[in-house]
Amino acid sequence: MMKRTEDEHRDRLKAAHLLPVLERQNLNAEFANKLSEWTEWLDCIEDKELIREAKRIDVDLDDIPVPEPDQFQEPGLWQINGFGDEVLYPQVRHAINKAIRERKPVYRKERREAYQFYATLIFGLGGMLIALVSVLKK
């Protein structure tokens, strides 16, 4: 959508080359507003995915430092942007990314060990079943 907005703006500017300067400035302001809206919408989506990833790999969000909120906002990890959407504070986003980077190797090791345990268990039970069937046949 951001690319489409940029393309539409470029086409409108080409068509408006004979318009007065004030009208072109209004077009540029409108474009900047739309682009800002799309950027904040994208940030909102990316922040929710970041939180989902952090929860999936067991990053403790209670350990993330909470910045001081603006005068009209509640304290916490989220702030309300100009369009009413919740986005993470930039410091919080950076801290969560850092915590994910630190936790991922440990998480991968834990998952690998769990897979190895279950694989060993399944193969062990399969071997016992084969041995039991061979003993019962004799």
pLDDT along the chain (138 residues), means of 10: 72 69 76 79 87 90 75 62 72 90 93 95 95 89
Taking alpha carbons only, the member of 25, 28, 36 closest to residue 2 is: 36
Q: Which residue has the tokens 């989902």?
A: 52
Residue 64: the pLDDT is 81
State the pLDDT at residue 124: 96
Residues in the chain: 138
- Whether the model clears a pTM of 0.75, i.e. scores above it, the answer is no
Residue 80: per-residue pLDDT: 65
Using CA atoms, how far apart are residues 85 and 89, in angstroms rounded to an integer? 12
CA distance 112 to 105: 11
- Fill in the DSSP letter of residue 23: H
Predicted pLDDT of residue 82:
60
Count the neighbouring beta carbons within 10 Å of the beta carbon of residue 95.
Answer: 20
Which residue type does 17 have? Answer: H
